[in-house]
Amino acid sequence: MSRNDLKKMIVFSSETSKRIIEAAVTDYAALDNRSGSAIIEQKLLESFLPQQEDAQRYVKHLYSGASDVQDIIVSVSQSYAAGVSWQARWGNGKPLVEFALEMCLQSASRINLKDELIHHLMNSFDSLLRILKCEEQEHSGDLLERENLALSVKFGDELYQLLDKEKTPPPTSSYVNFLIDVWDYVGNSTHTYRVLSDLIAISSKWYEDAEIRVNLKELLAVISKKWGDK
């Protein structure tokens, strides 16, 4: 869209709306000693961007064309992984993983086993499996829960072997869905987000459209409320 096209977009629905907006813009422009167009630009950006500083940066990158949806998910996952004592930086990342799963399924995304990041992914996934195996050994609760955890560990081992020996690129969704299945045990682990970041980074490109970008922006607005500004 060109700048001229953008200028032509503002068509008021009524004279009343036009008078209200023009009067408000005039007042803000006078108070801030700025032009009316600068005030309109500011108010539009404020309406489109999340409040949190880092989330704003992600959305700016998305809409400026510097990053696509897949890039943003990788970056946000890396931020969640940057906690201390092997814990995630924030504890509210499950919606991020669920969004990634939806995108992987929609795009039938597959892992590039020849990417140089595959070894880092395998190391992180192995660390995740170690946590699950410790949970399995120490589990003293419901028998059915322990059996389900044992099945998850077995399936996780199978997924790991696919990364090491499989020649056909496995579907990324299987791994992201695995993270969700064992969320109660590893949802707050830094390894979970390291795995997610690597998975998405070395997977085939996602399809994206206007709805997906808006959904990502709204997701970032929600989860970033827990991030806190620097």
**First vs last Cα of the chain: how many Å apart?**
34
Q: What is the CA radius of gyration of the chain?
A: 23
Residues 143 and 172 in one domain: yes
Residues 130 and 215 in one domain: yes
Chain mean position to CA 131 = 23
Residues 80 and 168 in one domain: yes
Orientation angle between helical segments 36-48 and 15-32, nearest 10 degrees: 100
Residues 222 and 137 in one domain: yes
Residues 29 and 116 in one domain: no
- Residues 51-101: pLDDT tens digits? 999 999 999 999 999 999 999 999 999 999 999 999 999 999 999 999 999
- Residues 126-162: pLDDT tens digits? 999 999 999 888 876 778 888 889 999 999 999 999 9
Residues 12 and 96 in one domain: no
Output the pLDDT for position 142.
79
Residues 144 and 160 in one domain: yes
Residues 9 and 68 in one domain: no
Question: Model-level pTM?
Answer: 0.89
**Of the candidates 25, 75, 28, which has an alpha carbon nearest to the alpha carbon of residue 55?**
75
> Range of 18's domain?
3-48
Output the pLDDT for position 6.
52
Number of independent structural domains in the chain: 2
Residues 199 and 86 in one domain: yes
Residues 123 and 23 in one domain: no
Residues 41 and 66 in one domain: no
3-class SS of residue 156? helix
